[in-house]
Amino acid sequence: MEDFSSMSHAMFGWMEREDGEFGEIFEPKTVKQKMDLASQSTVCIPVIFDCQTREVIWCDMNLTINGFHSHCGGNNVESNIQGVAATCYAIVNAKKATLYNLIQLHIKARGIEVTSKEEADVIFDIEDGITPFDTDVFMGEYLV
Q: According to the model, what pLDDT value does residue 65 have?
A: 63
Whole-model pTM above 0.85?
A: no
Task: Please tell me the distance from the alpha carbon of residue 43 to that of residue 83, in angstroms, as a whole number.
Answer: 10
Q: According to the model, what pLDDT value does residue 120 have?
A: 93
Could you tell me if 63 and 43 are in contact, meaning their C-beta atoms sit under 8 angstroms apart? yes
Q: According to the model, what pLDDT value does residue 66 have?
A: 57
Residue 5 vs residue 68, higher pLDDT: 5
pLDDT beyond 50 at 70: no
Q: Which residues pair with 48 in a beta bridge?
A: 57
